[in-house]
Homo-oligomer: A and B are copies of this chain.
Amino acid sequence: MPVNLPLVTQFNPINGLRIGSVNAGIKQTERPDIVVFELGDNACTSGIFTTNAFCAAPVQICQKHLATGTQTKYLVVNTGNANAGTGAPGYKDAMEICQAIADQKSVPVESILPFSTGVIGEPLPMEKILRALPQACTHTSEDTWYEASQGIMTTDTHPKGFSTQFEHKGKVVSISGISKGAGMIMPNMATMLGFIATDAGVSQPLLNKLCTELGNKSFNRITIDGDTSTNDSCMLMATGTVDIPAIVSESDDFYLVLKAELEKVFTYLAQAIVRDGEGATKFVSINLTGCESSEEALKVAYTVAHSPLVKTALFASDANWGRILAAVGRAGVTDMSLEAIQIHLGDVCIVENGARAESYTEEAGSKVMAQDELSININLGRGDACETVWTTDLSHEYVSINADYRS
């Protein structure tokens, strides 16, 4: 069971964006496994992608197609197969999927962006996909976000979505988004897909800026097991159908309002992935403050977040603060002074003045550790930079899921 992750079934439609979902039989499931997003004429699309050196064929094609400057018309997602580690044939397969839609819809192939998630290294079941595609591209609707949230799931136990509306200058602006991912989650993206759309209009450069900045503060700040996948992609689409002039400048007050609202959606969808992390029983915020730089803060935060000893202590609700301290100590920060460091579990001080806090009691620490949502707050006492990373514990269930995934 995911940690405090409500099921979202109602989404605000985004005018100018239609979605088709179909079960192509790629996975042994009754859920859809192909999802197609169809964008209207004025839409802009931006994306950020995995930094894995062996990024999958669809990621390579997305980046290539976006770089041509061609307006994106269709995004096509399949689950069940990542089309990664598949070499030249995998690239050809992904292009063939794009070409099939381009032919059916009479649009340039560069206007199609492909996405795949699932097992690495197996060839795509092309026959099944090509047979199912036309229907997914034809039976589209603005009201099928929930089906889409189900259609992009892999080992997720829960579909993940979030939708919001706000008023600006008397007009209602909508944002809807879905995400997927449960393992192989780590900075710089993971087996993670995110699709977020708004009916606001945003110029391409500013949409790129929004997608990068918000993606970095959300999807690039979550980690379950430190494994960065070959397929991660986070897409932001702006259809520009709402009756407010498109944003072309950062000084437009609509820009700041929209950015704040989008940030809520990005953050929710990123955190949802952690809440549904493989075998997760805890949702943990690791907050670093007092650091010399953002890089330093992230280095320590990720070292703590990835420590199997910290993670198993979280699973056991064991306030084993020595493991947290040891992880901070091995993070590779030079000239760190133990005397200057303060560590809190929630609001319980566990380390100060170079040792266990005098006020600390095992009872107080255990009470925090027993919560299903908690924070580890680490102040290095040497600067002003701060960063937050979200992660989970390491449970028996994680081992079971990943030891059995392909069988």
Contacts and interface: CB of A to CB of B under 8 A. Distances in A.
Contacts of A315: 399, 403
A328 B89 CA distance: 21
Given A87-B355, A355-B87, A404-B316, A54 B325 contact: yes
A188 B329 CA distance: 12
A120 B322 contact: yes
B406 A320 contact: yes
Nearest to A319: B406
B309 A183 contact: yes
B318 A54 contact: no
Contacts of A230: 325-326, 329
A326 B120 contact: yes
Contacts of A312: 398-399, 402-403
B402 A355 contact: no
B330 A51 contact: yes
B184 A309 contact: yes
A17 interface: no
Contact of A227 (B330, B353, B356): B330
A276 interface: no
B329 A87 contact: no
Contact of A121 (B86, B307, B321, B338): B321
A323 interface: yes
B308 A407 contact: no
B313 A403 contact: yes
Contacts of A396: 396, 399-400
Given A54-B328, A120-B323, A356-B121, A318 B407 contact: yes
Nearest to A119: B322
Contact of A53 (B225, B336, B394): B336
B52 A326 contact: yes
**Identical chains in the assembly:** 2
B86 A318 contact: no
A239 B133 CA distance: 77
A85 B227 contact: no
A182 to B, nearest CB: 12
A173 interface: no
A7 interface: no
A307 B402 CA distance: 12
Nearest to A329: B54
Closest 5 CB pairs of A and B: A120-B322, A87-B355, A54-B329, A316-B403, A312-B402
15 contacts: A53-B328, A53-B338, A84-B322, A85-B351, A85-B355, A120-B326, A121-B356, A227-B309, A306-B306, A308-B398, A312-B402, A313-B402, A316-B403, A318-B403, A399-B399
Interface of A: 51-55, 82, 84-90, 119-121, 183-184, 186, 188, 225-230, 306-309, 312-313, 315-316, 318, 320-323, 325-331, 333-334, 336, 338, 351, 353-356, 394-396, 398-400, 402-407
